[in-house]
């Protein structure tokens, strides 16, 4: 059982929970797919934290360097009292923002949102110890559940932020739907801070998702272990192999699990049996790479006007701060 203060959104909004219907649809499709949300059980979240520290994985340290330099400027530009983070994880980079806001305001609230209860509970309790003057309350659930919950909670001026490169996990259609929901959640004058991974050479991109230590491979394969636990399945992770490649035409990393030999898989809780051919693959993640100007134009089409953008010296990663207009 989670310790307070964490609200379990799934219990409050059962109608938003799909009970694995997306798994059924994805595994019966051609090609087979799975949602990246199934990466993030407690072990998956810890493996991702390890990925963020790998030498090949540039996004986390690059984005952190941008925040290190500009967090104070972001705080001054927004002067918000309520900070909401989607996909908070360990909230490590977030502390750069919390430090900056703490310098300009004594009345600040931070709402981290994550689907992993273990890492959310741990980070909330640690942050409450470090920032006793900040009201910190975790929200356990999906982005959609959190945004639905927040619509009825207009307390103070808001900064909603979505860091890392998680936006790239959405298809263009999913991204459009997500930004529409974000715009609906924010009121006029509220802010959105968005982290975006930028298009670059595949010689930089592909090693970031195929690290030499095999942590990303373990992270990818753990999705099958998570499905076994969640839906009473019998995936054998030894029968699958991780691979990530960059699709230059679509400007996206495509991460897959390749089946090594033909076999059946059963997910009893879903009453689902799936046959895998040798050589067949499951697409587990896309990670789209963006252009700052094009993303700013898409945000503006949703009523989110760009206030400022920042990127690192190499032009590998960018932050976009925008404000909800009428």
Domain boundaries, the chain: 58-200+291-324
Q: Give SS3 for 200.
A: coil
At 217-261, the pLDDT tens digits run: 999 999 999 999 999 999 999 999 999 999 999 999 999 999 999
What CATH number does domain 58-200+291-324 carry, 1.10.260.40, 3.90.870.30, 3.40.50.150, 3.40.50.2300? Answer: 3.40.50.150
Residue 114 CA to residue 39 CA, distance in Å, equals 12
Any idea what DSSP says for residue 15? G
Distances in whole angstroms, Cα of residue 277 to Cα of each of 254, 258, 265: 20, 10, 11
pTM equals 0.90
At 279-305, the pLDDT tens digits run: 999 999 999 999 999 999 999 999 999
At 143-189, the pLDDT tens digits run: 888 998 886 666 678 999 999 889 999 999 999 999 999 999 999 99
pLDDT band at 38 (very low <50, low <70, confident <90, very high): very high
Residue keyed to tokens 């993303």: 295
Say if CB 19 and CB 133 are below 8 A apart: no
Q: What is the rounded average pLDDT of the residues 6-15?
A: 65
């Amino acid at each position: 059982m989670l310790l307070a203060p964490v609200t379990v959104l799934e219990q409050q909004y059962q109608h938003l929970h799909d009970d694995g219907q997306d798994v059924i649809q994805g595994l019966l499709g051609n090609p087979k797919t799975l949602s990246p949300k199934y990466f993030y059980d407690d072990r998956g979240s810890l493996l991702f934290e390890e990925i963020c520290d790998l030498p090949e994985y540039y996004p986390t340290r690059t984005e952190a360097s941008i925040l290190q330099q500009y967090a104070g400027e972001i705080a001054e530009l927004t002067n918000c009292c309520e900070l909401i983070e989607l996909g908070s994880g360990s909230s490590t980079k977030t502390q750069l923002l919390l430090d900056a806001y703490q310098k300009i305001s004594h009345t600040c609230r931070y709402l981290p949102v994550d689907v992993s209860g273990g890492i959310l509970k741990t980070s909330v309790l640690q942050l409450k110890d470090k920032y006793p003057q900040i009201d910190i309350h975790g929200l356990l659930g999906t982005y959609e559940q959190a945004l639905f919950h927040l619509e009825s909670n207009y307390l103070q001026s808001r900064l909603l932020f979505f860091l890392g490169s998680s936006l790239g996990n959405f298809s263009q259609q999913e991204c459009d739907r997500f930004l529409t929901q974000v715009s609906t959640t924010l009121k006029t004058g509220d802010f959105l801070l968005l982290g975006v991974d930028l298009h670059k050479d595949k010689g930089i991109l592909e090693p970031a998702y195929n690290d030499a230590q095999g942590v990303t491979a373990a992270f990818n394969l753990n999705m099958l272990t998570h499905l076994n636990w969640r839906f009473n399945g019998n995936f054998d992770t030894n029968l699958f192999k991780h691979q990530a490649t960059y699709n230059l035409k679509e400007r996206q990393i495509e991460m897959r699990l390749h089946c090594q030999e033909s076999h059946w898989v059963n997910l009893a809780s879903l009453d689902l049996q799936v046959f895998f051919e040798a050589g067949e693959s499951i697409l587990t993640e896309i990670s789209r790479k963006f252009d700052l100007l094009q993303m700013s134009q898409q945000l503006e089409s949703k009523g989110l006007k760009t206030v400022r953008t920042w990127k690192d010296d190499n032009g590998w990663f960018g932050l976009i701060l925008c404000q909800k207009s009428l």
